[in-house]
Amino acid sequence: MYKILMTYDSQEGLDELLKHPEFKIEVFNKPSPEKFKELIKNYDGLLIRSEVKVTADIIEAADKLKFIGRAGTGVDNVDKNAATQKGIVVANVPGGNTISAAEHTIGLMLSLARNIPEAHKSLKSKKWDRKNFMGCEMQGKTLGLIGLGRIGTEVAKRMIAFGMKVIAYDPFANAEIASSYGIKIKSLDEVYAQADYISLHSPLNDSTKGMINTESIKKMKKGVCIINCARGPIINEKDLSDAIKSGQVKGAALDVFAKEPPEDWTIIETDNVVVTPHLAASTEEAQIKIAEEMSGVIIDYFTKGLIRNAVNVPTVDWETYKKLVPYIDLSDKIGAFQGQTIDGGISEIEITYQGTISTLNTSSLTVAYLKGILSQILDLKVNFVNAPSVAKERGIKIKEALIRDCSDYSGLIIAKVKTSKGEYSISGTLFDKNQRIIEINGLAVDVMPSGNKIFITNTDKPGVIGNLGTVIGAANVNIAGMTVGRKQIGKEAITIVEVDSSVSNDLIDKISKIEGVTKVKNVSL
């Protein structure tokens, strides 16, 4: 009998698991960290949503635990490294809420266009007021999407049926696939300038945090409407509130906020702002779909040893996995490094395995690499199971090459990526058990793929490194190490600066203005 601890109390969609003779499910709703630590000792499996944090501490106390199932998408409440080290599988259910989130976005957009919440409130207070709630049609208007992943695409398909023209900005989107749905890929400034409605569907990351602010709002059409069902911090709430008060923005519809529950209520109290408390994924269907899928994942893992939907383990049996672990982690890191440093939508990936590594199960290594690179671009839900299908969905061609000979290293992984902006390469190896990146874009480097780094491309000329040190030092950021790679004096070079923590967008901006610097990116591994 496998004992599973559930930390939330909704059992809908879990019938298969609850009725299974080999499982005993016990529910402790939202245990405190102390209680959780004490309880976890007795269970083989854990089933959670977002109500608990599975910290390294909890995992350490979990003597019998083999499986953590997150009934939802985000696994940021689980310490995945601690789980992996202890051999615990962490699995999720990616994409179960796409349709719910898309439909909610449209609901908010229509509510805003037709003043539904305000008219409802007025009529409920027994006022028959028709003149104050004049609305607008969607037909003929331009919808600008920022982020064209699963939800963005579903919103687009539905709003095209409303007669809207749909344009999108997504630096990693495949323009051909978008065009097959009738969506035109545009630059961010074009979306700002042309859209009547702007709907946000990108992940929250360094480049999207605070992107809707006074500066970007100035580039938008006067009277634009903004919808956010993605993540709150993508919008600077104070700037949006000011822009609505000034009339530059007509209104906004928001499901997500900078802090949840909010601490500053300014944006919520602003007129012409329609709000819901992070409800986009909250539908019976989404929760049931997710619970049903997770039931099957748990049953398959415990009864057949089959690993599905894992975010930290590829789908091979555990014994094979243990042999692959060092290279899997290296492939994942190489992908993650490359995903944070390239530009443009990916069209092709070629991975070459050289040396002893070419005799291993390289398809698992390719999946690990894909998970690494795609997780940087998509919203946290690429895992070892869905990485190949996510790549296929995005029209990315994948090639694998195996070369037995490798004179200088025991095993070498070389990943070459073609994007709409250029071609990039990266090579990594293991020295004993130590991971190293030894080549980036044809330049020899020696970099450990871990921690926080600033990745810079620059012209190799006197003064660049000195200015770099000055700018970083002035921002009070400690430089822990630096690697420079170059082929020829005076030509293109790569500088990788190791720092103690991720640096601000402001510092990245300052570095990009140093003479000779051609590109700067934050890298966190």
107 is a site residue for ligand NAD (CB under 6 A)? no
Q: Which residues contact 329 (CB under 8 A, 6 or more apart)?
A: 368, 435
| Interacting positions 363-382 with ligand NAD (CB under 6 A) | 377-379
Burial of residue 130 (number of CB atoms within 10 Å: 0-12, 13-18, 19+)? exposed
208 is a site residue for ligand NAD (CB under 6 A)? yes
152 is a site residue for ligand NAD (CB under 6 A)? yes
- CA 148/CA 154 separation, integer angstroms: 9
The residue from 229, 291, 349, 440 that contacts ligand NAD (CB under 6 A) is 229
The residue from 2, 23, 172, 257 that contacts ligand NAD (CB under 6 A) is 172
Looking at the Cβ atoms of 15 and 285, the one nearer to ligand NAD is 285
Residues 426 and 372 sit within 8 Å (Cβ to Cβ): no
Listed ranges 163-171, 289-297, 429-437, 451-459: which one lies at the site for ligand NAD (CB under 6 A)? 163-171
257 is a site residue for ligand NAD (CB under 6 A)? no
Going by C-alpha positions, the residue among 138, 148, 76, 146 that lies closest to residue 111 is 138
The residue from 141, 238, 278, 510 that contacts ligand NAD (CB under 6 A) is 278
CA distances from 134 to 29, 112, 123, 125, 326 (A): 46, 11, 15, 19, 63
Listed ranges 33-41, 96-104, 113-121, 336-344: which one lies at the site for ligand NAD (CB under 6 A)? 96-104
Is 237 a residue of the active site? no
The residue from 79, 103, 170, 196 that contacts ligand NAD (CB under 6 A) is 170
- CA 207/CA 205 separation, integer angstroms: 6
Q: Which residues contact 120 (CB under 8 A, 6 or more apart)?
A: none
- State in angstroms the smallest separation of the CB of 389 from ligand NAD: 12
Closest chain position to ligand NAD (CB): 149
Handedness of CA 302, 306, 312, 317 (dihedral sign): positive
320-359 burial, b at 16+ Cβ within 10 Å, e below that, comes to ebeebebbbbbbbbbbbbbbbbbeebbbebebbbbbebbe
The residue from 45, 203, 251, 314 that contacts ligand NAD (CB under 6 A) is 203
281 is a site residue for ligand NAD (CB under 6 A)? yes
Burial of residue 260 (number of CB atoms within 10 Å: 0-12, 13-18, 19+)? exposed
- State in angstroms the smallest separation of the CB of 442 from ligand NAD: 26
Looking at the Cβ atoms of 45 and 203, the one nearer to ligand NAD is 203
Give the number of residues in contact with ligand NAD, rule: CB under 6 A.
Answer: 32
Handedness of CA 281, 287, 289, 295 (dihedral sign): positive
Looking at the Cβ atoms of 92 and 98, the one nearer to ligand NAD is 98
207 is a site residue for ligand NAD (CB under 6 A)? yes
- CA 499/CA 479 separation, integer angstroms: 5
147 is a site residue for ligand NAD (CB under 6 A)? yes
* String marking each residue 16-45 x if it binds ligand NAD according to CB under 6 A: ------------------------------
Listed ranges 119-127, 170-178, 484-492, 507-515: which one lies at the site for ligand NAD (CB under 6 A)? 170-178
Looking at the Cβ atoms of 208 and 341, the one nearer to ligand NAD is 208
- State in angstroms the smallest separation of the CB of 74 from ligand NAD: 7
211-216-222-228 Cα dihedral, nearest 10 degrees: 0
96 is a site residue for ligand NAD (CB under 6 A)? no
Residue in 70, 231, 308, 394 annotated catalytic: 231
Listed ranges 22-30, 277-285, 431-439, 493-501: which one lies at the site for ligand NAD (CB under 6 A)? 277-285
- State in angstroms the smallest separation of the CB of 387 from ligand NAD: 12
Looking at the Cβ atoms of 207 and 248, the one nearer to ligand NAD is 207
- CA 407/CA 412 separation, integer angstroms: 10
Largest Cα separation within the chain, whole Å, is 84
Two tokens at 207?
């480049």
- Kind plus residue range of the DSSP H or E element containing 385: none
97 is a site residue for ligand NAD (CB under 6 A)? yes
Residue in 26, 260, 269, 284 annotated catalytic: 260
Handedness of CA 212, 217, 223, 224 (dihedral sign): negative
Looking at the Cβ atoms of 194 and 459, the one nearer to ligand NAD is 194
| Interacting positions 237-256 with ligand NAD (CB under 6 A) | 255-256
In DSSP terms, which residues pair with 183 in a beta bridge? 166
SS3 397: strand
Is 260 a residue of the active site? yes
- Kind plus residue range of the DSSP H or E element containing 73: none
Residues 449 and 346 sit within 8 Å (Cβ to Cβ): no
- CA 501/CA 479 separation, integer angstroms: 10
Residue in 16, 60, 190, 278 annotated catalytic: 278
Is 231 a residue of the active site? yes
Looking at the Cβ atoms of 278 and 486, the one nearer to ligand NAD is 278
Looking at the Cβ atoms of 197 and 409, the one nearer to ligand NAD is 197
- State in angstroms the smallest separation of the CB of 172 from ligand NAD: 4
- CA 232/CA 164 separation, integer angstroms: 25
Residue showing tokens 């269907």: 285
- CA 519/CA 510 separation, integer angstroms: 11
101 is a site residue for ligand NAD (CB under 6 A)? yes
- State in angstroms the smallest separation of the CB of 444 from ligand NAD: 30
Give the interface with ligand NAD as residue ranges (CB under 6 A).
97-98, 101, 146-152, 169-173, 201-204, 207-208, 229-231, 255-256, 278, 280-281, 377-379
Catalytic residues: 231, 260, 278
